[in-house]
Amino acid sequence: MVRVQVPATAANLGPGFDCLGIALQLYNTVEMARAGSGLFIEVQGEGADEIPRDESNIVYRAAMRLFKQTESVPPGLKIKLINHIPLARGLGSSAAAIVGGLIAANILAGNRLSQKELLTLAAALEGHPDNVAPALFGGIVVSVAVDGEIKYVKIAPPPGLKAVLAVPDFSVLTKAARDVLPQLVSLQDAVFNLGRLALLITAFHQGDFSLLPAAMEDRIHQPYRASLVPGMKKVLAAARLAGARGVCLSGAGPSLLAFADGNFELIGRVMKDTFRQSGVRARTMVLKISPVGARALEKI
């Protein structure tokens, strides 16, 4: 039996739509073992009432993809999921499922695929690389598909920076959040984002948090997604007033993220209260950036 731990992730971080993400210190665990026949899936924690226990399960599908590619399909499979990442909230639950399934299966298959091959497979299953890359490698990761291969670079998290998250009690499916986006953006908006993304990467690299407020502005996806998250603009503005550095929609939402280097509890409380004024119940979390990505905990 193998046991794999995979971090939650926050993608985009404002201007880095589909190419930037961070790993967070909140983890799901995937346990997997070969069985003589059949499929047995047990789920504990987040999503236990919703996650399918049949062949449509994402962890199972990712694992089977790897077993087929490595020609090592087992006669049966046992999977146990211990989930701490809220489902469909913009915190990378599906990326964690894909990465967890792939890594557990890869260990059972004798570590036939490299980290790079796992990344390419995970990005193909997820549709974009920005969550799966930090889920695999940890830290802050820039990732881009080039001719079918994912090129990526990992930046170590700057010390002292934490993510304050307000997680609403409703879900938004990524597909719905992508359907509201335009097919084309203006040159002005593209230039707005690319300058800020360059600033943001540099700010992380140098640990210069004073750049974050400007560097995390976005015109490519957040303005369109605001309609899916009641109170989004007010909550982000309130977090800034309470002392947050940069603020953004986490991934495709609906969670909102505020980077801060102090006042964490106050910022969380203000985000929750401001959400409530828009009729949204939210829970808050203060999470460090996880320097490590998915890893096998032990082999039993």
**What sign for the dihedral angle of Cα 255, 258, 263, 266?**
negative
Q: Which of 120, 174, 193, 274 binds ligand HSE (CB under 6 A)?
A: 174
200 in Cβ contact with 298 (< 8 Å): no
Q: Which of 78, 84, 112, 178 binds ligand HSE (CB under 6 A)?
A: 178
Closest CA to 78 of 36, 107, 40, 48: 40
- Residue 108 vs 142, nearer CB to ligand HSE: 142
Range in contact with ligand HSE (rule: CB under 6 A) among 109-117, 126-134, 183-191, 259-267: 126-134
Range in contact with ligand HSE (rule: CB under 6 A) among 145-153, 172-180, 201-209, 287-295: 172-180
Q: To the nearest whole angstrom, how small is the minimum distance from the Cβ of residue 285 to ligand HSE?
A: 18
Q: Which of 252, 258, 285, 287 binds ligand HSE (CB under 6 A)?
A: 252
Cα 3 from Cα 36, distance rounded (Å): 19
Q: What are phi and psi of 231, to 5 degrees?
A: 85, 5
Cα 14 from Cα 4, distance rounded (Å): 30
Give the E-state strand segments of 71-183 in sequence order.
Answer: 76-83, 140-146, 149-155, 162-168
Question: Is residue 123 a contact point for ligand HSE (CB under 6 A)?
Answer: no
Q: Which of 3, 13, 18, 168 binds ligand HSE (CB under 6 A)?
A: 18
Cα 153 from Cα 129, distance rounded (Å): 12
Which residues contact ligand HSE (rule: CB under 6 A)?
A: 11-12, 17-18, 128, 130-131, 174, 177-178, 221, 251-252
